[in-house]
Amino acid sequence: MDDPTRKTYRPWEPQRYAQQTHSPLAKLPEGDLVFFLLDTVPHLDLSRFYAYYETETRGAPPFDPAEMVCLLLYAYCVGVFSSRKIALACERNLAFLAIVGDDRPDFRTISDFRKLHLDAFADVFTAVLRLAGAAGLVRLGNLAIDGTKIQGNASRHKAMSYGYMKKEEQRLRAEIDSLLRQAQDTDAAEEAVLGSRRGDELPAELQRRQDRLAVIAAAKERLEAAARLEAEAERQRREEAEAERERTGRKRRGREPAPISETPDDKAQTNFTDPELRIMKTNNKGWDCCGNAQASVDGACQIIVSCDVVDAANDKQQAVPQAQAALANLAEAGLEPPTDATGQPGKIPATLDSGYYSEKAMQDLEELGFDPHAATGRQRHHAPDSAAAGPLPAEATAKEKMAAKLRTPAGKALYARRKAIVEPVFGQIKGARGFRRFLLRGLAKVRGEWRLVCLTHNLLKIWRYGCAPSVG
């Protein structure tokens, strides 16, 4: 007899549940992301993926590229980036099962497909941008450009400074000379006892040191090449500043700058695990091996228009390449810039922080068809506007003109939107989806991986604005 005072619970029958057939269509919401992707991917142009397999007749039939593309897009949308975790989800997750069914790719197949077709995802990025434009999510009223540091697949403990390399190189050369002398002494002793021998054997410890010496020499060359590029950029910056002073008749303030050196600083570092990325300053750990991930984001619905990863720690040289990439992607996607009152193509407003500002960069942006709004220096919070109102003098510099432009009501309102446009995108990618570290190595692969992350960000925006089920 049941005890009336005992709490009644819903029945739990795990043995019956284990034998039930679960259908993703029956269990998942009608507007789930996976069904949106299953409807969308077949309409994308995937010919570049299929072309790789058309001439290959050996081995078992490969997985359909459309299936693998859909699988990777869904995995990146929901924050599953590891090929092993994707393969595991294909066995246990209903949404993943809706894509792969009973014939599930293993982690090696997933990993190889991603590495093999990273460049082909550039076409998918453009196709998704075209979808976003058709849905009215790209309006080009404010294109915000910014960058964020993302950790590379390399430990900062596998790095070495230029100064330490020089010391290590001297130590290894001394050890190699010592080992060579020991080998010569051993050869002489064995020659006296055993007679002639081949003499071309290389001791294992000598080989190890020579290999290490070659690795350090290559690392030194990378740092020296980077130092030469930085010296050339600094030389160009000084020439532009000197030309501006001569034009305005102003004198240099402060001390004369130190001579430009093409030799790396002793503290300059490179990483042996992924030498194409550099040691950069980060917010939380101080210094780490990172890539500087760039994105140009449209202000209407936070659609990423262009993206890239560079090995430069600062953003000084990235404004123009990002703008050029944005124009190329928009043209390929068939999206036109807004028109003015006369029906002619107008300039695209672009907002950038002070890290991107240089006179030449702003001039180049204007020539490309942009209306740049860039901070000319760090702005203190709640600081009063010290600049006097009124027209600028005729001899005003380009920097002063840009600062005055940002003080106008229209410029202030436009620039104030920058943080609300681009910085939340990095938060959504790094915080919500958990993409804080690249899985691949090498700058080309890292760029492809970042492109995959950005295009799935755009897919999520399209789904949420147009296809996500309403809540409430």
Q: What is the pLDDT of residue 463?
A: 95
- Note the pLDDT of residue 429: 96
Q: For position 26, what pLDDT does the model report?
A: 86
- Position 276 scores a pLDDT of 73
The predicted structure's pLDDT at residue 352: 94
Output the pLDDT for position 19: 75
Q: pTM higher than 0.85 for the full model? A: no
What are the two backbone dihedrals, phi and then psi, of residue 137, each rounded to the nearest 5 degrees?
-90, -5
Close Cβ partners of 138 (under 8 Å, ≥ 6 residues apart): 129, 132, 298, 300, 301, 303, 305, 330, 335
Please give the C-alpha separations between residue 273 and each of 157, 159, 164, 270, 276, in angstroms, as whole numbers.
10, 8, 17, 9, 9
- Note the pLDDT of residue 20: 72
- Six token digits for residue 34: 């996976």
Residue 467 CA, chain-centre distance (Å), reads 28
- pLDDT value of residue 471: 42
H or E stretch covering 306: strand 304-310
Q: What is the mean pLDDT of each run of 10 residues along the chain (472 residues)?
A: 68 74 86 93 92 83 91 96 95 92 92 94 95 93 94 72 64 67 64 51 62 67 72 76 73 76 70 72 75 94 96 89 95 86 83 91 93 82 52 76 90 93 95 93 93 96 74 40
| CA distances from residue 415 to 4, 269, 424 in whole angstroms, order as listed | 68, 36, 15
Nearest partner of 102 among 173, 46, 21, 30, judged by Cα: 21
In this prediction, residue 18 carries a pLDDT of 72
Q: Please, are residues 228 and 262 in contact by the beta-carbon 8 Å criterion?
A: yes
> How many helices and strands (H and E) does the chain possess?
17, 8
How far is 66 from 454, CA to CA, in rounded Å?
A: 19
Residue 286 — left, alpha, or beta (φ > 0 → left; ψ -120 to 50 → alpha)? left
| 143-151 vs 348-352, strand pairing mode | parallel
How far is the CA of 410 from the CAs of 50, 274, 382, in angstroms?
49, 45, 19
Long-range contacts of 427-430 (CB under 8 A, 24+ apart): 428/302, 428/457, 429/453, 429/454, 429/457, 430/148, 430/150
Nearest-angstrom CA–CA distance, 306 and 323: 8
Sign of the CA dihedral 218, 219, 220, 222? positive
Token duo for residue 433: 């989806």
List CB contacts of 233: < 8 A, sequence separation 6 or more: 316, 317
DSSP-assigned letter for residue 465: I
